[in-house]
Amino acid sequence: MSTVQESAEPIRHRKYVGSGQKYDLQAASQFGLLTALGLREEHTVLDLGCGSLCVGRLLIPYLAPGHYFGIDPEEWLVEAALAQEVGRDLVTLKCPTFSNEGGFRLTVFGRRFDYILAHSIFSHTSRRQMATAFREAREALDPHGIFVCTFNKGDEDYTGEEWVYPGGVFFRLETVQQVAYAAGLACVEIPWTHHGKQTWVALTHPAHLDRLPALHDPMKTVLLEKRLRDVTQTLETLERQPLVRLSKRTQRLLRRFGLRRRSR
């Protein structure tokens, strides 16, 4: 990691992405969401597009040493944030790791993560770029891990091939879920506060969908539907058992001959 440099403009890094006026609220909202989803200090977090360390400045002191990882192509932005939001002593103590990878290579660190965060990234990407990031996330995500990210929800999908910034792009929720599914991940919407009016979604390996807490009714519905499918499969298995089939035939014969048991 390169040496932390001092910046002559104390708030330039905050204003580089967004207005900077809601910097603290965005940080608190993201940190609150991660802890609501079960984040604890022993977990590892990958912050995709960590930039000015909006939430990184809260995660770095919270997590155990060596458990925070950030990716951002703007090296100067990360360095300015480390100098003015975190400080050298905390960097030495907590040992965060960074990469200036710019191609959505979430596997660049060669390890898996309990949580991956991508705030205001897919509000600027093409569908192809989103698909690349989701495939990488599947490989970088721990089997029981959670990937949370935001996007601009709209009635139509952005069809361009380029990163759009400044400005943003929109996708339908169904499209984001389809891209996630194609990458081998399940995707559900989360009704979490976003001060830029973006939509939060959580992705995880389908086998561990119940790892997501029931934060709202739609998510409860997803989990209940999964449990209903599991129960239905169990019942179908039981109904194929010889004794159960024999019992059903016996009951039908009893009803046919009017020999129903009297209720007591």
The pLDDT tens digits for 200-219 are 999 999 988 877 655 544 45
Does residue 6 belong to any structural domain of this protein? no
Do residues 85 and 206 both lie within one domain? yes
Q: Are residues 63 and 143 in the same domain?
A: yes
Show which of 187, 211, 235 is a domain's final residue. 211
Clarify whether residues 29 and 117 are in a common domain.
yes
Q: Which DSSP helix (H) or strand (E) runs through 203? A: strand 199-204
Residues 136 and 21 in one domain: yes
Instruction: Give the burial class of 123: count Cβ atoms within 10 A of its Cβ; 0-12 exposed, 13-18 middle, 19 or more buried.
Output: buried
Q: Which residues contact 228 (CB under 8 A, 6 or more apart)?
A: none
227 confidence band (pLDDT: 50, 70, 90)? low
* Dist. CA 78–CA 190, nearest whole Å: 28
Residue 186 counted as domain residue = yes
* 153 and 221 belong to one structural domain: no
- Is the separation of the CB atoms in 219 and 232 below 8 Å? no
Query: Which CATH number do you get for residue 135?
Result: 3.40.50.150
Q: Compute the average pLDDT of residues 129-150.
A: 97
> Do 143 and 114 fall within a single domain?
yes
Higher-pLDDT residue of 190, 214: 190
| Confidence (pLDDT) at 8 | 41
Q: For residues 246 and 232, state if they share a domain.
A: yes
Structure tokens at 124: 């600027």
Kindly report, residue by residue over 14-40, the tens digit of the pLDDT: 666 655 567 888 899 999 999 999 999
Q: Please check whether residues 145 and 246 belong to one and the same domain.
A: no
Q: What is the pLDDT of residue 15?
A: 63
- Total count of domains within the chain: 2
User: Could you list the residue range(s) of the whole structural domain that residue 136 is in?
Assistant: 12-211
227 plus 250 within the same structural domain? yes
